[in-house]
A and B are shown apart, each in its own frame.
Chain A
Amino acid sequence: MSVLVNKDSKIIVQGFTGKEGTFHAGQMIEYGTNVVGGVTPGKGGKEHLGKPVFNTVAEAVDKAGADVSIIFVPPRFAADAIMEASDAGIGVVICITEGIPVQDMVKAKAYIDKRGTRLVGPNCPGVMTPGEAKVGIMPGFIHNPGRIGIVSRSGTLTYEAVDQITKAGLGQSTCIGIGGDPIIGTTTKDAVKLLMEDPDTDAIVMIGEIGGSMEADAAHYVKEFGTKPVVGFIAGQTAPKGRTMGHAGAIIGGEDDTAAAKMRIMAECGIHVVESPAAIGDTMLKALGKA
């Protein structure tokens, strides 16, 4: 079992026939993910990668029963794609696109919240339930089916955590890349909560970075409702104030969103905080009493 996506998810790819969409949809299908088709306006009725292409998301829901969408459309059209998926009744929308204007996301977020859509991302690597569904751009082979849930704002740093968990002899239930933008659909706390309530997840790795208050919110949730060990890391302990560190959301505005402040709050809330990103796997083994 898992959260958000599994082997029965009926997944469509928005921006299916573009360069990115084609490459990653191909990788997803190769992994065994249940991709039921894709959407590219104006190319409906054709076939691509052996799957049907639809003009609209509504058509994909109607004809292929789609319930999960992954978005690869360029930044200027991405907010529109998110709202289209929401309007069509898709329950889980995963947006990979990086560089969406913030004001577009302010509108899209308000729009989908009214319709109860779960958005993951944007600017994220996607969601992975090993052995069942790879809905994103992560390398499949580093994952191993198991019982550790992973939540992270980053791409390659998530892979690093996944790899350490796998090398520690453990595996992952679901890995959720929530994204590095200032406005994202699923927060750290939302993702931790999903995994905390998942009966097939035994422990959680929570990776954050400088900027915003998401990790502190998640930590307070863990303190109040946590029933499983959580290992946490915050990237950017050496980042200067006021500079954007690659991710649009990774910027220190005040005292509260430095790595040190977040790590302190997380530790106070009972999270196993690691100073070094190289110690995630070992710390998880200790937290589980296996080392």
Chain B
Amino acid sequence: MNLHEYQGKELLAQYGVVIQRGIVAHTPDEAVEAAKKLTEETGTGWHVVKAQVHAGGRGKGGGVKLAKNLDQLKEHATNILGMKLVTPQTSAEGKLVRKILITEDVFYPGETEPSEIYISVLMDRERKCNVIVYSTEGGMDIEDVAHNTPHLIHKEYIDPLAGLQGFQARRIAFNLGMSGVAYKNMVKFIYNLYSAFVGSDASMFEINPCLHASDGKIIAVDAKVDLDENALFRHKDLAALRDTDEEDPTDVEAKSYGLNFVNLDGNVGCMVNGAGLAMATMDIIKLSGGEPANFLDVGGTADAKRVEQAFRIILRNEKVEAILINIFGGIVRCDRVAQGVIDAYKNIGNISVPIIVRLQGTNAVIAKKMIDESGLEVRSAILLKEAAAEVAKVVG
């Protein structure tokens, strides 16, 4: 589950991580009030206006602007609020900006030139432990850094049983070229950041940029936070931060029915039990000349109600020209699923696209007979290759 920048920063601050301070605003007037308040509290003269959407590369799309006075600030806030922000990580349509974060300016002049650092924390699947990834090349796209100058990216692997050790935090600070007060702040920053990661059951933290400010402070200027959905049961406060406005509405609705759904671009819908078989079914659709319109795992109980909900969600997509239902009945009996399909079909009434039902496993032959004799416009199959051939007939 992704958090907004402002939510991520609040989480970090709870663990003592120094953040660039800010206040959320929903209107240009609120933005001006927020800026005045920040100036009072932090002494900042300039402010930054930052679009709050779940996508990276916001600056590139014009979603992050510096304001040197309140008139500029109001102008930026007016422009950004309500815009469809297009970044390298959004669709071509972009994402509607519903709120902005007004922040203090932390690039103030001082003893040293401010410099930007990259820090992330995530779980390394190959090594099966957490890793802190860091680089002196902050403020840029880290994939570009990894591609062009891989020697500038460092990794610190954390022992799962011992946790982050002091020497590791010190090594990170030294490798980042820190000394004096900045070095001490960096060690503290790493410690607190890692505590926040473990404490919140995060799956990813990305602080880019993390600023080495001109007075030696180490400040999280941005915070990309992704939390482990499976651990939200022990973080009720974090679970409440979910912003469904940022998610695909169909995905959200499907989830409320217990369906695992991902909207795609193609012309053949599918309904499958099991994630691996669902992906394989999408592949079959492609090989048969169609394009998958969705990923949909109905789970272990493909009863009439679920099948009907799944039908309704798939049919809402006007691009869908056919639907392939692929169920391998193990524990769930195929005749029950067949009955579910027949009932759902009748409940919905007139379904105008062809439906191919492939039921295999427990009671598959009985199920095929039920479908064939139901009088519905449904093509049935038992073998996967038969189902593929049926799809090819319809859209190939």
Contact = CB atoms under 8 A, between A and B. Distances in A.
B291 interface: yes
B284 A209 contact: no
A261 interface: no
Given A156-B328, A245-B279, A110 B287 contact: no
B26 interface: no
Interface in A222-242: 233, 235-240
Contacts of B387: 278
Contacts of A76: 233-234
Contact of B276 (A100, A106, A152): A152
Interface residues of A, number: 58
Given A109-B128, A236-B283, A101 B231 contact: yes
Interface stretch (A86-94, A198-206, A247-255): A247-255
Contacts of A213: 125-126
Interface in B188-209: 198, 201, 203
Nearest to B261: A246
Contacts of A236: 279, 282-283
A156 B262 contact: no
A238 B128 contact: no
A80 interface: no
A101 B279 contact: no
Nearest to B130: A106
B297 interface: yes
B361 A159 contact: yes
Contacts of A137: 330-331
Interface in A71-106: 75-76, 99-104, 106
A247 B285 CA distance: 20
Contacts of A276: 283-284, 287, 385, 388
Interface string B366-396: 0000000000000000011101100000000
Nearest to B233: A76
Contacts of B291: 238
Given A100-B230, A103-B231, A156 B274 contact: yes
A129 interface: no
Contacts of A156: 272-274, 276-277, 328, 330
Interface residues of B, number: 52
Given A180-B276, A238-B292, A245-B275, A103 B228 contact: yes
Contact of B280 (A99, A102, A277): A277
B279 A209 contact: yes
A110 B129 contact: yes
A212 B126 CA distance: 8
A153 interface: yes
B287 A275 contact: yes
Contacts of B297: 246
Given A100-B230, A153-B276, A250-B279, 12 more contacts: A76-B234, A107-B160, A109-B160, A139-B330, A139-B362, A163-B360, A183-B128, A207-B276, A237-B282, A276-B385, A278-B383, A278-B385
Among all A-B residue pairs, the 7 with the closest Cβ atoms: A154-B276, A246-B275, A156-B274, A157-B276, A101-B231, A139-B330, A235-B279
Interface of B: 123, 125-126, 128-130, 159-161, 198, 201, 203, 228, 230-231, 233-234, 260, 262, 264, 266, 272-280, 282-287, 291-292, 295, 297, 328-331, 360-362, 383-385, 387-388
24 contacts: A101-B231, A101-B234, A103-B123, A106-B123, A107-B160, A111-B161, A153-B276, A154-B275, A155-B274, A155-B330, A157-B279, A159-B361, A163-B328, A180-B276, A207-B276, A210-B279, A213-B125, A233-B280, A238-B291, A245-B278, A246-B275, A247-B276, A278-B383, A278-B384
